[in-house]
Amino acid sequence: MNSKWLPINEIAEKVNNGSLSATDMVDQALKTIEQNTEYNAIIVTTADRARERALQIDKLIKSGTNAGMLAGVPFIAKDNFLVFGAETTAASNILKGFKAPYQATVIEKLEAAGAICVAKANLDAFGHGGSTENSDFGPTLNPHDKHKVPGGSSGGSAAAVVLDMVPFALGTDTGGSSRQPASFSGCVGYKPTYGLMSRSGIIAMASSTDTVGVLGRDVTDVAYVTECISGKDPLDSTTIESDPAGYMIDKPLKDLKGIKIGLVSEYMTDGVDPDVKNKIEETAKQLTALGAEVIPVSIPSLSLALAVYYILVPAEISSNLSRYDGQRFGYSDPNAKDLDESYTNSRTRGFGKEAKRRIMIGTHVLSSGYYEAYYKKAQLVRTKIINEVHKTFQSVDYLIGPAAPTTAFELGSSTQDPLQMYLADIMTVGASLTGIPAIVIPAGTVSGMPVGLQIMSPQKSDKSLLEVAQLAQKEINK
């Protein structure tokens, strides 16, 4: 990908030594955003606050202080992160007007390292979707073809990176929302081990699979950002310690000798676009040429992952969305006669179709009489999937496959058919349900549209996953 941005570590180094200014970096980002408004990747900029922070950073550096590992590096956050400087809407009408009272932990960490948030990216409202068409701000367009979707739900973040607005963007990933748009739009999308990055200050979708997603041009940058934002957070009890070895790729791998990689058969079925399959097979050969042993592996229960996901995730969503009742945040019907009417009207008008669909599915599978048949059974199958995946990692070090069965589809082609839309997640939900880290890297194009290779590894092996992905990206795109 051609980019006008230097590698992230170099930007920070040059800002710190005074050969670049944070103000110029912010201006460059805002200018590129302005030049690409037609893609609708951005909901709102945080221009004023960004310029102020840039000035402060430039001043600090002039006074001889180092401004941090990300000094002056501009970034964009998906609009489900609480960030100062603009409203936080999660792309839903029900949150219009809501201003964050505090910032997400990962945003605080980025700021502490000197990074500057310049804008909030578009998404499927609350993260519900795989195309960014479920946004109350209108769809984002694919940077390679304006008639196609960028993927979702972090489609705005992926498009922002590919349109070169910023060197990296934050997304979230509950069932593939950073990986699938990376595949459709042509950038790197990484979902860490569940708990490696704090969820505090991120609008909850499904708490047992929600993670931060990091989107960038290359794995080296993504690893560098990971170094700055991972680790335990007292505000999120599910967080884990980061790897004491860190995540930066300071000694890139030279080959993959001695590494065993499983190509997941369940992700290479006849339902997958033959051209996508060919691409993935080609990349498998390239990994073999690097010295890896690539063998087909079967994880039979993965074929149940999508069904399990679309029971458990709506159940968690229905609980998480109950806090938006027109009384505490965002939109509230100003003319309601009483509290009941206020609840009803605020939620009826504020939530979009997909949120309502998921609230209904979620409350249904949790209701007495159906709980045993759906929710409980899905939990049992989730455990079976987790056990099978762990067992597979006893015989291979990594798993690979496509990130989605097709390349980006036409805008509007799946919006009337939720089941069709849910199928776009079939290859990403497995890693979410099992909590393992997964990364998507660009693996060439089919008819001009990007294809992504997904690489997965055991829980907490993020460092080696990033190292392998870095070498794979270099080899595949050389």
**Whether 413 is catalytic:** no
> Per-residue b/e over 293-320, b at no fewer than 16 CB within 10 Å?
ebeebebebbbbbbebbbbbbbbbbbbb
146 as an active site residue: the answer is: no
213 CB neighbour count, 10 Å cutoff: 29
Q: Are 217 and 167 in contact (CB under 8 A)?
A: yes
Q: Identify which of 288, 230, 298, 241 has the alpha carbon closest to the alpha carbon of residue 261.
A: 288
CA distance 162 to 158: 6
Q: If we measure between CA atoms, which residue out of 173, 155, 180 comes closest to residue 427? A: 180
Q: Looking at beta carbons only, is 174 or 346 nearer to ligand GLN?
A: 174
Nearer to ligand GLN, 174 or 332 (CB): 174
Active site residue: 153, 154, 157, 332, which one?
153
Report the C-alpha dihedral over residues 314, 125, 425, 167, rounded to 10 degrees: -140
What are the beta bridge partners of residue 173?
A: 211
Q: Active site includes 19? A: no
Identify the residue among 155, 175, 352, 430 touching ligand GLN (CB under 6 A). Answer: 175
129 binds ligand GLN (CB under 6 A): yes
Residue 90 binds ligand GLN (CB under 6 A): no
Catalytic residue among 78, 109, 148, 277: 78
| Residue 382: CB minimum distance to ligand GLN, A | 15
150 contributes a contact to ligand GLN by CB under 6 A: no
- Exactly one of 74, 130, 262, 442 binds ligand GLN (CB under 6 A); that residue is 130
Q: For ligand GLN, how many residues bind (rule: CB under 6 A)?
A: 14
Tokens of 271: 């339902």
For ligand GLN, which residue of 72, 74, 85, 127 counts as binding (CB under 6 A)?
A: 127
Taking residues 300 to 319 in sequence order and writing x for each that binds ligand GLN by CB under 6 A, - otherwise, the string is -------------x------
Q: State the residue number with the nearest CB to ligand GLN.
A: 177
**Residue 159 corresponds to which tokens in the numbers above?**
């498009």
Query: Among 2, 18, 3, which Cα is nearest to 71's?
Result: 18
**Does residue 326 interact with ligand GLN by CB under 6 A?**
no
Query: Cα–Cα distance between 115 and 266 in angstroms, integer?
Result: 40
Query: In the window 403-432, what residues touch ligand GLN (CB under 6 A)?
Result: 425
Minimum distance, C-beta of residue 336 to ligand GLN, in the bound complex (Å): 31
Compute the distance between CA of residue 138 and CA of residue 43 in angstroms, rounded to an integer.
10
* Nearest distance, CB of residue 91 and ligand GLN, angstroms: 12
Site string for ligand GLN, 176-195 (x = CB under 6 A): xx------------------
Positions touching ligand GLN (CB under 6 A) are 127-130, 153, 172-177, 205, 313, 425
